[in-house]
Structure 1
Amino acid sequence: MLTVGDMFPSFDLAAVKGGAAGLDLKTAFTRITDKTDHGKWKLVFFWPKDFTFVCPTEIVAFGKLNEDFADRDTVVYGVSTDSEFVHMNWRLHHVDLNSLEIPMLADIKRELAGATGVLSREEGVAMRATFLVDPDGIIRYAAVNDLSVGRNPQEVLRVLDALQSDELCACNWSKGEEHLRPAA
């Protein structure tokens, strides 16, 4: 699996747009690449499969924090190995995903999951992996959860705040708190 300090791989994937545009067949689809939103931080999170139980809880939680990430000049991309058509169908038929503001990327050839090293050998789907990528394309945070365990989007936001502070941050540090200072 790629880790902190590695370059995030190039990609070019079909996606379902976030917001109301993602619910209309005429406007729902787009392509998102590693060059999209150039110069911004990127939060890229993978989930195993659409129409499952744990995945929508995470996707909705990341979606609810979309404005908080945007306030930090960060775009949020959700990715699975399902197609853009499956993503749209799931959004249309899952009430909690109807108002999702983040795009859902379709890695149907498993190229991005494979390039990042998060493709489960046993299941053939993406693991629950999370990457924070700086504006230069360098991975600054990488984490993966077991397929059965959801992650905490609020913690990812906290880590982003710490990374963007460019300071020493203690365990459980939160934005607005003092940073660590080396003894003089």
Structure 2
Amino acid sequence: MLTVGDKLPAFDLQAVVSTDPRSAFARITDTTNPGKWKVLFFWPKDFTFVCPTEIAAFGALNGEFADRDAVIYGISTDSEYVHLAWRQNHKDLAKLPFPMLSDIKRELSTALGVLHREEGVCLRATLIADPEGIIRFVSVNDLSVGRNPQEVLRVLDALQTDELCPCNWQKGESVLTAA
């Protein structure tokens, strides 16, 4: 598994960006949104139970991530057509403000090392890459446990200070100084 300090691998994936079939699809690459922080989060399967709760929670925080010069990419191994059908049929995903990327060939998830060995689907992995494409944060949950997007936002805030941030540090609080 790639980790903190590694370079985000190159990728070129089809994505769903709306529910309108005429404009639903776009290509997203590692060079899309240059100069931005990138938050990549992976989920196991579309049309499941825990996944939409996480996706909707990231969607609700999209504006806060954008305010921090970050883009969100949601990714699974489902096809773009399955993503589109899910968005069209799940009220919490209909107006999702970030792209749902299709890693159907499992190239990105394999390169990152976030595939579940037995199931062949993505683990609940979350990565933050800085504007230079260097991975600065990695978190992985078991298939059955949802993650906390608010914590991902807190970590992004801490990373962007480029300072020493204590446990439970929140944006606006004092950072530590080395003696």
Interval containing the TM-score (normalised by the shorter chain): over 0.9
Query: For residue 8 of structure 2, what is the aligned residue in structure 1?
Result: 8
Alpha-carbon distance, 1:55 to partner: 0.2
Query: 1:48-87 maps to which residues of 2 (within 5 A)?
Result: 48-87=44-83
Q: Secondary structure at the match of 2:92?
A: helix
**Which consecutive unaligned segments of at least 5 residues does structure 2 have?**
none
The aligned residue for residue 175 of structure 1 is 171
CA positional deviation for 1:94: 0.4
Is the counterpart of residue 161 in structure 1 residue 157 in structure 2?
yes
Does 2:20 match 1:24?
A: yes
Q: For 2:2 and 2:104, locate their aligned partners in 1 and report how far apart those are by CA, in whole Å.
A: 20
Distance in 2 of aligned mates of 1:9 and 1:130: 15
Aligned residue for 1:33? 29
Q: Which structure 1 residue ranges, 5 or more long, are not aligned?
A: none
Q: CA deviation at 1:99?
A: 1.4
Which aligned pairs between 1:89-168 and structure 2 lie closer than 5 A?
A: 89-168=85-164
Q: Percent identity?
A: 70
List per-residue Cα deviations over 1:149-173 (Å, max 9, x = no partner): 0000000000000000011000000
Q: CA RMSD in A?
A: 0.5
SS in 2 for 1:132: strand
Aligned residues: 179
TM-score, with structure 2 as normaliser: 0.99
Distance 1:107 1:65 in 2: 23
CA shift, 1:181, in A, is 1.2
1:104-144 CA-to-partner distances (Å, cap 9, x unmatched) read 00000000000000011110001000000001000000010
TM-score by length of 1: 0.96
Name the SS of the counterpart of 1:97 in structure 2: coil
Letter matched to residue 75 of structure 1: V
Deviations 1:56-109 (A, max 9, x none): 000000010000000000000000000000000000000111111110000000
- Counterpart code for 1:12: D
Instruction: Give the secondary structure class of the aligned counterpart of 2:171.
Output: coil
